[in-house]
Structure 1
Amino acid sequence: MASKLASDFGEQFLTCQVCMLHFRDPRVLPCLHTFCRECLQEWATKQQPLECPTCRTQVSLPDKGVDGLRTNFYVNNLLDFAAVKKEAGPGVPCQVCEGGRDQTKLWCTDCAMLLCESCTAIHRKVPVTSQHELVPQEGTEGREGPDRPQRKRHCHKHKSQELVFYCESCNVLVCTACTVIDHRPGKDHNPVEISTVAQRGRETLKGLLEDIVPRMKEMQASSKEVEKKMSNLNPAKEAATDQAKAYFHQLADLLQKRESEILRQIDDQCRADGKALQTQKEAIEFELAGLTSAQTFCQQAVERGSDVHILEVGNQVQTRVETLLAKQQDLESDWSEFQFVENTTVKDFNDEVWTFGGLKTDVDVSKCGVVVKPAVQGFHCSASLTTVNRAGHACVTHSRAVTTNMKDPSGTGVPTKLQMGSEGRWEISYVPKVTGNHSLEVKVNSQEVAGSPFDVTVQDKGTPVLTIGRKGGGVGDLDGPLDVAVDTDGTIVVVEQGNRRVQMFHADTGGCLGGFPVSGEGPYGLGLDSEGAILVTSLGEDCAIRRYSKQGALLNSVQPDCLCPSGAAVLQDGRMVVSDSAQGSCLLLEHDGSLIRDIGSGHLQFPSSIAVDESRGVIYVTDRFAHKIFAFDLEGNLTLSFGRQGQGDGEFQSPAGVALDPAGNVIVGNAGDGRVQVFAPDGSFVRNVATVTGKSARGVAVTPEGLCVAVACYKGHCVELYRYM
């Protein structure tokens, strides 16, 4: 058996791929790769989020961190068995008394120790160890898989009791004592012998193995097909190059410039196709590696794992394999060989020299599409082009194949910049200097894309690029939106006072993505925490801070010593800053609502919204009665205040909403006159963004990368987005 172990696995299977030593307390990641506990802990301190060192799969650690990961008892057993083989040789001392070098030794599967004859006799007499299983070295040679002696697993609560049952209700291994005390059979518990449950788990894993094999064969065949096409790249290039040279040599010096141009196109196409095929091959091989790893792990568990091991990792293996099998992978390559095409005969070249020759690719211009995004005067604006092949799939082509031309309303050219993205996607960027209807012409391979030239309406800076909602109670309607927030994915979250609900919208289209009703007499403010949960403050008799999932489930409710919670902001560590407009202060709270400190008492009159710049440790608070913005540090010290009542630049009329852009600038919405203004971190006025519909700007938020500012228009019953950067 020892020789079989060495031939099947070798040292590599028992070696951690981080420290390159034998596993010490091996732990299994969700992707089924195993590492030392200490290695994973060190890896986790260097990387957030944690990625598997082998397959780069992102790992969400349990609440207990690395200590909460499953132990790979199968690897532990193999290490024990390797130790038996190593330590059972002649001249090796007993691991208890360090004597008996020439005696026959036995291996205690409970203690994982090698014992001489004397220590074995004592071991059998001591009550605590008398029931331990002692196996001679020769007794392990013919026993494989689950029948091979393995280290016993004992109950963490009843240390002397072996785990022999599995409570199906609790999904946990238990001992005999547990079935009497904590897992007594009945309506709440159903302990079953582990062999019975393990057999079902083993059959499930066998079924997964059967599903893996055909998928692996399919991916292997696809990888070979891509590799075959990659091998044809250079021959295709050489053939096209030879054809082009033979053709252009007949046209002598007049065609030299055109010849060079065509050769560059061929090289560009080859590089573009080569990069695309290489990327596809790497993606396929990456998925294949994942399947291979899962197959090995699954097969080891089925063939050699104990019942306990099957139960420990069965669900994890099933989740990993099903995830791999469900993942969609494009196994078909869309690449087709390109070739040089003679568009014009030699006798006709004189007037059409710049049209001679060309590179035939798989791009179907009739299927290419252009999406024009909202344009605002003076800002970087863009449109997107997707090049598509005859099969209808996005495909790569060389940059010289795409040309763009833009003109403003007077016919003056507007410079455009073309940038190639991934998978046949291109960005056409420009900065319009005037408002009005512009014309954008887009060509691929000298042919206009369907719909070209495109009409592009350029708006002035104060016009919203998108308006979301209208007054009403239906899906997508809004009634008195008071606050707005934007999550990391760009989803716009709005709280309505009239409909007492939260709704979520797509930032590009304004389409409603869902919503849910909220508790409380008067929902008022919004906050988003680092886990994506939505915090809603409410006023009135049942005032509280309620935390909801995006699906509308109430996760928890906090009722601090607060008369009128209005604005709320959540720090990365879960602490909250809440404004109390009735008491004229802000509260720094723990995540459970317990008070850390009071902030702003004696300075604030009617605090409303809050924005926190954690990088600088500054809390910005709008004060609607004082018509100012106050800034405090996290210790509660006043560091800055700016503004006064008025309608000029830098002045406020009941400032309500506040947000921060990526540079730390402060964006403020005025409830009194609808102006949205920008201030530097030191409080100096920067510029006006817009004046909103209905003249009542309440909550404000910045979309990812600071591209737009979203403003909750309380009296306009909508949310308006304005270009910002």
Structure 2
Amino acid sequence: MATAAPSDKFLDEIDETFLSCGVCSERYSNAKVLPCQHSFCEHCLIKLVEKTGQPIHCPLCRRKHDIEVSDLPNNYFINEISEAFKNRDVGSQEPKQCVCEKSHANQRCLDCALDICDACARAHLRMPLTQSHRITSLESYQSLIVKDPSSVHSATYCDKHTDSAVKFYCDSCEVAICLECTVIDHRDHKQRYLKDAAAEYKDELVANAEQLKVKENEVHDSKDTIQRMVDSLETRYRQEKKRLEIHTEKTIEEITRKIRNASKQLMDELKDEYKNREVNLRVQIKELESSENSIKYAREYTNNLMHYGNPVHMMSAKNGVTSLLTEIQTLETKQTPVDDDDIQFIPSDNSSMIQVLGALQCKPTYVIGHVPDMTRVGDNINITVTTKKGNAYTQKQSLRAEIKTPDMKTEDVEVKDNKNTSLSVRYTTKMIGEHELSITAYKTHVFGSPVKINVIPKKGLLRKFGGKGSAVEQLRNPYGVIMTRNRNALVCDTGNNRLQIFTLDGNHLNLIEFTNFAEPFSPRYSAISDDGYIFTTSYKKVVVCDVNGKLIRVFGSKELQYPMGLAISPINGNVYVVDNGSHCVRIYSQLGVYMTSFGSSGTGDSQFNGPWDIAIGNTGNIIVSDLRNNRIQIFDNNCRFLNVFGGRGTKEGELNSPQGVAADTDGCVYVCDYHNNRVQKFDPQGKFIARIDSIEDDVSSHRGIYVTDDKPFGKVVVTEWNRGCVKVLTQ
């Protein structure tokens, strides 16, 4: 019997189901990893997108990922292990053929993951692109894959510098980089060797793996406990079912005997009643028959006397006949029955017969009514709880409710009886964030408990910060506002010629100034690239810097007359700049290369009169505020006109000098309706949805706007030009 190769021993330690795709159930083929860290075959994901369309719904956790399959990273770890399994299945003991197909392979290039012969190995090391590759014998490779599997993985090359291997890690950007990246894109960042960072992260993974093992054991124990309860419940059910069947048969026999006795007694009573009534009625009939005979005789005698008697006969019988007729006239001939036939059997109520057998004694099964998944702070949460069996009013003492607040404190919740076989659970929210409501009966969670409830702020003004002035933390004539990658507010402090960064709670973090320009740095609007660089419009130019204020580049001075709003497309990465002075939108690469423009002066479609700000949605649609035309125009990713909405006025959906615009993750459009002193929200097609602020919020002369990606409703952040402040509104 052939002994297993060292690689087989290593592979035997891995459960092969780890390498099965969750869609096709086959071994992975070019595994791609989703942002949720679940991996699937590339061809399976392509078929999934063709069937359901974007966004991609993870088949395992059902999370949505709005990303192209081609943009998903490879799962190198799974792919290499899958390849190792494939090689073993083919037969690791048989000689392997070199890629040149002339000789057997006895060497392996670890960086290319190729098995080659001696001649190919020497040629490999003479080539410029592969002369630094690691080549070892297949025997050594088989030994290394057991002792140190990570040392034989193929090299990973930089996406930007494709001939440079990734060997370093940027802690500032949290990304693996190559040697060229360390001196170009990440020169002033905190860097270290990739293997050192991986060793440190491995310690974290070990700790996390131990925690996951504990959670896995808890789940396993819980399943065992519940399964034992299911088994016990089934046993108890069968026992009680047998008892009920035996008791039912005995009860049927006993009830049958009692019913037969009761029937006999009722029959006897019925018969006696019948006989008594019958005797009375028959006696009455006899008396009437006697009277009938007497009357008949008197009538016949009188008739015969009148027709056949002579005067002597009639007069001699006068006294006797008169006495008879007088007696007959006194007889009671009109009589009613002395008794009636009112004899009736009334059956007992059969619905109560079940009580003869006994009754089931069970804990009531509670049913939770509608629970809102979202509410606002200060609102009341009212939940009705009913029972499938029994009276909820009598079971009030068995029900308990409590809520865990976002600060991990637990509060008891009032349970009230409604006097109508239902209970009410009531709680007044006091804190913003996710709450967990638990309802238990007899110390056990009722079905559907616990439930998560997201408490969002009250609609309207949440807070404001800044203040008119030139000191740090103060603002003068601010224009645009955006969110940094750390979810902080970057404000164009236009009047003070600087950028300022605040938390959304209003805490000041940093300011950015440039004093070496020919004209003062007068920031209008900003946008942030995927690399974290800040693009800001200033006098006749666009200034690019990092979050620490380091100047990267300046561009646009040849084309731009009066730049205002700008945005970076999530589709093609290009920079779109509103040129207010030229009534158009100019397009640049992020390196500052001018590409083209669209729009001209006028009032028609694709024409502008003083365009002001721009936003680009997730789908690439371009949204431009057309200031003096009092409207918003929307274009597709190729700058083709799609739609227009607004129009001068004060009604809902009408605009007066719209300035700042923003789009949320659902494609809805938010507009600073400047002279109407309000913020309006529209759907992606331009239909009015709602006014975000209220009169009490006192929004005035607002020029910049940004919408956060909070769910279910993002916060709306606006700058007030005349007051030098930033206001945060909730929807």
TM-score, with length taken from structure 1? 0.49
Higher relative contact order, chain-length normalized (CA < 8 Å, sep 6+): 1
Could you say which structure has the larger radius of gyration?
2
TM-score, with length taken from structure 2? 0.49
